[in-house]
Structure 1
């Protein structure tokens, strides 16, 4: 398995790990910076040593919790350059909601931490502090949007995206059931893959990953829709998360739970859930 295929397989794990590492490192640097800056001015710190870490970690963890919502926002309501004024206004409103949510989560975490230390947390004058926090949160929101879109662009260029030939070439209204070959655009190049070469399908959010000889090609669709479109081409759904090409099956091993393990000729083992077992058996009768 090459590096790109490995990354695609464990993409979510890498993304979560990278986000967690970023917010942890950033919060630690900011907390220690507060301590060092105050140490220059005061002979004795005007706060307990643990307090800056509570301040920064609560802020960082709150942003981490809200990060998936920003990803969803960009997917559901992408920025529309043809309606730029409306998009800017919409995203400004969202940035205010982001800031309020961030402050609410952050203050809640600090209240809990201070209560555990038998201390009271003072947020300050609410109006002033909300404006103060929004200044920072607006920039954080813009930064997150840029990072997310930049990351998605780079990943899309590296792994490519598959589209039916008919849609890729002439945008015709040819039904999806005529899906036969796919056009993949990758790193400025275009090449064709045949549906009959696909070994199995894997659900991945708004995409379905097509697995071909240890390579992965995403196509924008749901597994339910795509597996139905490909049913007449020898594909069968065996789990809520994946479907297989029937002539790739090497063996089936029943499990005590009622599920079964399906081993493919390429060595891949997938789970056949009880929900799809009957429809799977019908394909072989």
Structure 2
């Protein structure tokens, strides 16, 4: 029984690792499929409702699909902005009124941007069909659209938080293991030796010296060890300082690398360089961090 259990657990871990390595592709695929399916259902609902009321449609059959697809496309284009906003302005429960005011302002900006892109796309499409698109009374239509966009914004925020929470439990969020009980008496960064990872009902101890490179990901830093990824709640700047005595160096605003994991460095005509790791991974060395990187090598 234990043999089959362990085999099944390894299979789950393998699938999680595959998902981690292709996470962005799967996320984009899911979002595109979701918006296409949702827009198609809404468009066909408009057609069916109109047919129920009259045998003659008050619009061309293709128009509801243009209305819904342009709305979906504009939302899809703005989705990275929502994620960026959540990373920069996470909900602060200690200052909830201030956070709600910021989120209300963000939802208003989201709605205005959504409508602007949507209407622009519709006007271009109608123009290509030798027609014209009339948005209607701006004040009324903006209020009408904001009513829907506010609910969509709330749904997206909740869905993103739920998605991140589930991933943190499946991936196994890493946490530094405190060395001793001494109180911190200086402002210097506390060095990290090992990490504790709780994943799929088990606990793992990871030495930070096994980490090959690190990548900033919102409120987390993804730690790469071979083909595995462990998220740690921190900023890349702070974590790089904590691991500087372990031979890590920041090489980009989004990346840091362990110096012993580097195989070769290739200068580029742009002034940047490519760093190839022994694992085969290629990272960009930004001009901004090149001088600091050279000093780290000495």
- TM-score, normalised relative to structure 2: 0.78
CA contact (8 A) 2:189 2:241 kept: no
Residue 83 of structure 2: which of 60, 71, 76 is its match? Answer: 71
1:244–1:9: structure 2 CA closer, same or farther, 3 Å change rule? same
Give, in whole Å, the separation in 2 of the partners of 1:141 and 1:61: 15
Distance 1:229 1:12 in 2: 28
Aligned to 1:12: 24
Equivalent residue for 1:126, pick from 135, 138, 141: 138
Partner SS, residue 12 of structure 1: helix
Q: 1:62 maps to which residue? A: 74
The answer to whether residue 56 in structure 2 is matched with residue 44 in structure 1 is yes
Counterpart position of 2:227: 214
Aligned pair in 2 of structure 1 residues 11, 182: CA closer, same or farther (>3 Å)? same
Question: 2:164 pairs with 121, 136, 152, which one?
Answer: 152
Q: How does 1:224-243 map to 2 (within 5 A)?
A: 224-236=237-249, 242-243=255-256
1:168–1:183 CA contact under 8 A, matched in 2: no
Task: Kindly indicate whether the alpha-carbon contact (under 8 Å) linking 2:191 and 2:243 is maintained by their aligned counterparts in 1.
Answer: no
CA shift at 1:55, angstroms? 0.5
Q: Distance in 1 between matches of 2:211 and 2:138?
A: 58
Any unmatched runs of 5+ in structure 1? Answer: none
Q: C-alpha separation between the residues in 2 aligned to 1:220 and 1:168?
A: 21
Closer, same or farther in 2 for the Cα pair 1:263/1:100, shift >3 Å?
closer
Shift of the 241–68 alpha-carbon distance from structure 1 to 2, 3 Å rule, reads closer
Secondary structure class of the residue paired with 2:175: strand
- Structure 1 residues 137 and 240 mapped into 2: Cα distance closer, same or farther (>3 Å)? closer
- When residues 263 and 145 of structure 1 are mapped into structure 2, their CA distance, relative to the original with a 3 A threshold, is closer
For 2:47, the equivalent position in structure 1 comes to 35
Give the alignment partner of residue 102 of structure 1, picking from 108, 114, 121: 114
Give the whole-Å Cα distance in 1 for the aligned partners of 2:267 and 2:62.
51
1:11, distance to aligned residue in structure 2 (A): 1.6
2:36 aligns with 24
- Give the root-mean-square deviation of aligned CA atoms: 3.4
Distance 1:20 1:281, change over 3 A: same
SS at match of 2:131: coil
Instruction: Report how far residue 168 of structure 1 moved.
Output: 12
* Matched ranges for 1:148-187 at <5 A: 148-166=160-178, 172=184, 175-186=188-199
- Report if the CA contact (8 A) 2:87-2:218 is conserved: no
